[in-house]
Structure 1
Amino acid sequence: MTAVDFAAFVENLADIASDTILPFFRTALGAEDKNVGGAFDPVTEADHAAESAMRRLIIETFPHHGIIGEEFGSVRSDADYVWVLDPIDGTKSFIAGMPTWGSLIGLLREGSPTYGMIVQPFTRERFVGDGVGALWRGPGANREVIERKLKTRACGDLSKATLLTTSPLLYAESKLPAFRRVEERVRLSRYGGDCYAFAMLAAGHVDCVIESGLKIYDIAPLIPIIEGAGGIVTNWDGGSATQGGDIVSSGSAELHDTVLKLLQG
């Protein structure tokens, strides 16, 4: 079975996530702190409900598949097929009423990202990719649903590039100087993107995204979208990004090489 065969099932998972999460958005929803005593790491009822619903459908449909999720951990993570779920990537943005969050759904085959989707229920957008191609689906000018191919922007000059990161406050003190070396050379730097930053890179609106301390569920679902749109995503050492860590993604190989050299000092 190929990733394409799972496409309709992923759409069902996306519908479940959307239907579960959207009623909570911009309400008086409370958030618990998963990291009591450390940096604020919120989780909401919407996170738990959406991941639970997606897990139920996966287990009912593919009982031999594995699952890695942000809220409820891993089961059968050594299976040939493993689903990677982040019900709300960007929970801080979610509880602040900002629409730069999304539900991430990814599929690993023998440990490699083979299919991924970003679902943004509020803007009614979906970004999907299989590593070979990538598509955006969302509302058109007359609110009809339209679809178009995603393609990264071929910017090779860092001085003309737009850079996104969620927040420098999330970087360890030892990692921040590396990020600043890149930031001081770009034309424009913006904060607060969460998963939506990677979506905008795949869509060709920004040129580079740098993050630090990501988990597998933060990045694995995004890799097939970025690569399917022609982009590159690695860790700061130029290795695989699948397991998370310090991650950089660029729209062109030339720009990526430049950024890696600066990050490595």
Structure 2
Amino acid sequence: MRRSHGRARGVKFERRDGQYYEQTVRQLCELARSICSSHAGQSFQFVRKEDRSPVTELDREIELALRACINSRHPDDSIIGEEFGLLEGAQGRSSARRWVIDPLDGTKAFVTGSPLWGTLIGVLNDGKPWLGAIEMPALHRRLFSFDIEAVREDDSIRTSPCSDLTAARLCTTTPDKFTSVEQSGFDRLSKSVAVHRYGGDCFNYAALATGQCDLVVEAGLAPHDFLPIVPIVQQAGGEMTDWQGQVLTENSAGKVLAASTPALHFQALQTLAVAYDG
């Protein structure tokens, strides 16, 4: 397997331990893909949750299946998912590991016929993003981050070398979640780049990690929306932080900036910051 030039980040671990977690992540991706395949062509009704976001029975089915698999292989680990919240590890035992699950990232895309949705699976180690996966069944596409490498199925991946804001390709899912101040920062950024596009959800980060776009900017996200993605972007050579350049954690406010290179990330941060300084 060809190694990427991604930088090793996160908490050190025993190789055998890491391999076992890698096996679980692969198994979870296969499970999510299998469930989606079994419902191919089926139309799902959705209901709105308290935050007005849509949810379908497929969201819930995938998350319950993933939770059961994780609990059987890693009973000491805690699990937090979008639909069913936090489940602590087995009583009387503890682990530094926490699984983070978004069973269907891009439910709006899913219920409107777009293929740009997927399942996000992440593992935190002592609170830091450690391993991650983006499983996109409708596109037959899967990205992982393992150890010091990011891969697409069995091929290493790499972000683009773009380091000039004026040449950058920018993606964001929707401006609907931006506050007026955030919108001001995004408008300034979008006017500075070569091209920008709306829509995409987790697909945008997959495109960034494989060199097909250069910047992803989002706001109003929950931890399950971004924590599984951080290791993939970083190990493919990119940078991913909040809008102030701080490390993303479970306590982050939900504003995310991902860039293909450190130089581009710095320029984007400076441009977004003008809105807060003005």
TM-score where L is the length of structure 1: 0.91
Equivalent in 166, 172, 175 of residue 168 of structure 1: 175
Structure 2 unaligned blocks of 5 or more: 1-13
Task: Find the aligned partners of 2:243 and 2:210 in 1 and give their Cα distance.
Answer: 22
Shift of 1:97: 1.1
Matches for 1:64-83 after TM superposition, within 5 Å: 64-76=76-88, 79-83=95-99
Instruction: Tell whether the 8 Å contact from 2:22 to 2:146 is kept in structure 1 after alignment.
Output: no
Which structure's relative contact order is higher, taking Cα pairs within 8 Å and 6+ residues apart? 2
Match of 2:187 in 1: 180
Task: Find the aligned partners of 1:221 and 1:68 in 2 and give their Cα distance.
Answer: 12
Shift of 1:213: 1.3
Shift of 1:25: 5.0
Match of 1:49 in 2: 61
TM-score where L is the length of structure 2: 0.87
Task: Find the aligned partners of 1:149 and 1:104 in 2 and give their Cα distance.
Answer: 19
Aligned: 1:115 with 2:131 = yes
Task: Find the aligned partners of 1:25 and 1:90 in 2 and give their Cα distance.
Answer: 17
Aligned: 1:32 with 2:41 = no
Task: Find the aligned partners of 1:112 and 1:3 in 2 and give their Cα distance.
Answer: 15
SS in 1 for 2:20: helix
Q: 1:160-196, CA deviations, whole angstroms, 9 ceiling, x for partnerless residues? A: 1100000111212231101111001111101101011
Instruction: Tell whether the 8 Å contact from 1:21 to 1:47 is kept in structure 2 after alignment.
Output: no
Shift of 1:75: 1.9
Equivalent in 95, 100, 114 of residue 116 of structure 2: 100
The 1:136/1:247 distance shift into structure 2, 3 A limit, reads same
Match of 1:142 in 2: none
Structure 1 unaligned blocks of 5 or more: 138-146
Task: Find the aligned partners of 1:131 and 1:89 in 2 and give their Cα distance.
Answer: 24
Task: Find the aligned partners of 1:19 and 1:239 in 2 and give their Cα distance.
Answer: 37
Equivalent in 251, 261, 264 of residue 252 of structure 1: 261
- Mean CA deviation greater in 99-108 or 121-130: 121-130
Instruction: Tell whether the 8 Å contact from 2:18 to 2:147 is kept in structure 1 after alignment.
Output: no
SS in 1 for 2:58: helix
Instruction: Tell whether the 8 Å contact from 2:24 to 2:73 is kept in structure 1 after alignment.
Output: no
- Mean CA deviation greater in 124-133 or 101-110: 124-133
Q: 1:200-225, CA deviations, whole angstroms, 9 ceiling, x for partnerless residues? A: 00000111000001111111110110
Shift of 1:71: 0.4
The 1:34/1:25 distance shift into structure 2, 3 A limit, reads farther
The amino acid across from 1:7 in the alignment is E
Match of 1:144 in 2: none
Instruction: Tell whether the 8 Å contact from 2:109 to 2:115 is kept in structure 1 after alignment.
Output: yes
Aligned: 1:6 with 2:18 = no
Say which structure is richer in strand: 1
Task: Find the aligned partners of 2:38 and 2:54 in 1 and give their Cα distance.
Answer: 18
The 1:180/1:26 distance shift into structure 2, 3 A limit, reads farther
Match of 1:197 in 2: 204
The amino acid across from 1:87 in the alignment is P
The amino acid across from 1:59 in the alignment is N
Shift of 1:226: 0.4
Task: Find the aligned partners of 1:173 and 1:179 in 2 and give their Cα distance.
Answer: 10
Match of 2:6 in 1: none
Instruction: Tell whether the 8 Å contact from 1:25 to 1:95 is kept in structure 2 after alignment.
Output: no
Task: Find the aligned partners of 1:22 and 1:13 in 2 and give their Cα distance.
Answer: 14
